[in-house]
Structure 1
Amino acid sequence: MDTLALGPALAGAVRRLTDAGVASPRFDAEELAAFVLGVPRGRLLLASFDRAAAARFDELVAERARRVPLQHLTGLAGFRHLELAVGPGVFVPRPETELLAGWAVDHAPGAVVVDLCTGSGAIALAVANECPDATVYGVEREELALAWARRNAETRRAAGDRPVTLVHGDATSPDVLAELDGTVDVVVTNPPYVPDGSTVSPEVAEHDPAAALWGGPDGLDVVRRLLVRAAALLRPGGVLGIEHADVQGESLPALVRRHPAFTDVVDNSDLADRPRFTTARRRKLTT
């Protein structure tokens, strides 16, 4: 069978993706080559294409150049220690959200944890994977996203992780998980928070579901309602973590501080030192 050198194909793919405005052209080209060949990216130096693999690689590079997300092409998104199935209809989990998930993991041992707006299940499943004694729930309104979460939850259950309870419902509704009101130790959420009219990449604008993105004029419409639900779910002393856009490093913490149920409000930066998520503690309301 004819084999083709990988180097020239990769170089051409990098040029093509660079011209298309892809943010990480070499990484994406190598990930696609590794996906086609079924090998880890670190072993590409030892690999070569046959003609069928080269043709498949060229097709995937063309799709990526049209700004189809890399994760939609491979069907997988890495998140902390997990590989999650993703595709059309679900928000692709981002590396920066791993920090919020890590914060939740730190508070999760032996805890009851609720992930509101769970999407693919990324945060909930990461907590269950790293804290096997936690009791974890995920809430998602969108049926397509919930289907991906269920698929990922089944995969993790089969791998031996503690099951996550997934609930189909509006995370802001007082009826969702009402039986847990006042008993939850950790509420964590990566909600829709992009301000309406913001400029986003084609990967986001054309492929992430709108319901997972847009949060109203200031991006905080959903967050305002989630604060009410989180306050009801959390026990006194329980903790809340909310991801936000880097432009909301002052507005979101200020919103949480104005809510009478929360104290100890702190904003946290990501690895690029950009404001990324706010944490708070549920206070005991006085009458």
Structure 2
Amino acid sequence: MIMESRLAVRPLLADARSRLQEAGIESVDADAWALLQAATGRSRTELMIADDLSAEQADDFATLVARRVAREPLQHITGVAYFRHVQLEVGPGVFVPRPETEVMTGWVIDRLREVPDRTPVVVDLCTGSGAIARALADELPGADIHAVELSEQAAHWAAKNLAGTGVELRVGDMAEAFTDLDGTVDVVVCNPPYVPLLAWESVQVEARDHDPELALFSGDDGLDAIAVLTRVAARLLRPDGWVACEHAEVQSEAVPALFARHGGYRQIRDHRDLSDRPRFTTARLAGAGGT
């Protein structure tokens, strides 16, 4: 009887970590484990207890590690991304959600919970994978949630992630989106494209080579979409409604200035992310009396 050869997990993981580190990847341990789980279909606990792989599983693991070494996003390789308390399907054609956006989403949830005695209404512009809208539906199941995405490819992923949540998803340009909701929305949230075209070479390889350009770049200074957002949010929001907009670290002064220049907002404030970096701006539409 021929016994199938088995390979120990720990040396394979050590080799994977070394290769990932040489490729310039920061989260080598987390990535190595995630790739091993994807290659074997087994949990981390199961792998630690068994501590062995078949030759076929080891080959599959090596193939996935090679893809990551080539700087393909981990989420594209595994097919999943995690955002707050939800798991999302992602792949080519859609922006991979980042942990930095979770703080802004938490801020939005807090504002929606403050809406008194009625169903809160929220619009997620540039929804991409549907990450923000899905998280809102998960944590605020009674909210009236609407989302829009310009890219049909990205909207395909959003439709998968928002199926069964009750979120209304539309495909189209945020500039003309949801005119039927004008003046009725409590919070508008947006993670728009904001990378300056001039900063193309400085963008992380995984994002630059795999995230869609439509989700990354927005004019020479990266502010084109955000300038549109200031007008769209003012149209959608009810008096005293809130808007939250993610931005690049270097735009912590420029984005609040855009909202101030609009003239219809007050309580304009910039916020920091999990790494204590400037990450998103919030503003409140002036009330009925202009205050």
Is the pair's TM-score, using the shorter chain for normalization, greater than 0.5? yes
Conservation of the 8 A alpha-carbon contact between 1:3 and 1:50: yes
Number of the residue aligned with 2:30: 27
1:233 aligns with 2:236: yes
- For normalisation by structure 2, the TM-score amounts to 0.93
C-alpha distance in 2 between matches for 1:46 and 1:257: 58
Could you list the per-position Cα deviations for residues 111-154 of structure 1 after superposition, in whole angstroms to 9, with x for gaps in the alignment?
Answer: 10000000000001100110011000110000000000001112
Number of the residue aligned with 2:116: none
- For normalisation by structure 1, the TM-score amounts to 0.94
C-alpha distance in 2 between matches for 1:88 and 1:13: 24
Number of the residue aligned with 1:97: 101
Number of the residue aligned with 1:169: 172
The one-letter amino acid paired with 1:24 is: S
C-alpha distance in 2 between matches for 1:11 and 1:95: 26
The one-letter amino acid paired with 2:48 is: L
Shift of 1:42: 4.9
Identity percentage of aligned residues: 50
Could you list the per-position Cα deviations for residues 93-112 of structure 1 after superposition, in whole angstroms to 9, with x for gaps in the alignment?
Answer: 00000111111111224310
Secondary structure of 2:99's partner?
coil
Q: How does 1:1-80 map to 2 (within 5 A)?
A: 1-47=4-50, 48-80=52-84
Secondary structure of 1:107's partner?
helix
C-alpha distance in 2 between matches for 1:140 and 1:122: 12
Conservation of the 8 A alpha-carbon contact between 1:128 and 1:164: yes
Shift of 1:23: 2.2
Could you list the per-position Cα deviations for residues 211-231 of structure 1 after superposition, in whole angstroms to 9, with x for gaps in the alignment?
Answer: 000021211111001111110
C-alpha distance in 1 between matches for 2:45 and 2:238: 46
Conservation of the 8 A alpha-carbon contact between 2:198 and 2:221: no
1:274 aligns with 2:274: no
Could you list the per-position Cα deviations for residues 165-207 of structure 1 after superposition, in whole angstroms to 9, with x for gaps in the alignment?
Answer: 001110122xx21110000001000000011121111101110
Secondary structure of 2:188's partner?
strand
Structure 2 spans left out of the alignment, 5+ residues: 114-118
Structure 1 spans left out of the alignment, 5+ residues: none
Secondary structure of 1:187's partner?
strand
Secondary structure of 1:281's partner?
strand
Shift of 1:22: 1.5
Deviates more, 1:37-46 or 1:59-68: 37-46
What root-mean-square deviation, in Å, do the aligned CA atoms of Structure 1 and Structure 2 show?
1.3
Shift of 1:39: 3.0
Shift of 1:43: 4.7
Number of the residue aligned with 2:88: 84
C-alpha distance in 2 between matches for 1:113 and 1:120: 17
C-alpha distance in 2 between matches for 1:59 and 1:25: 16
**Structure number with bigger Rg:** 2
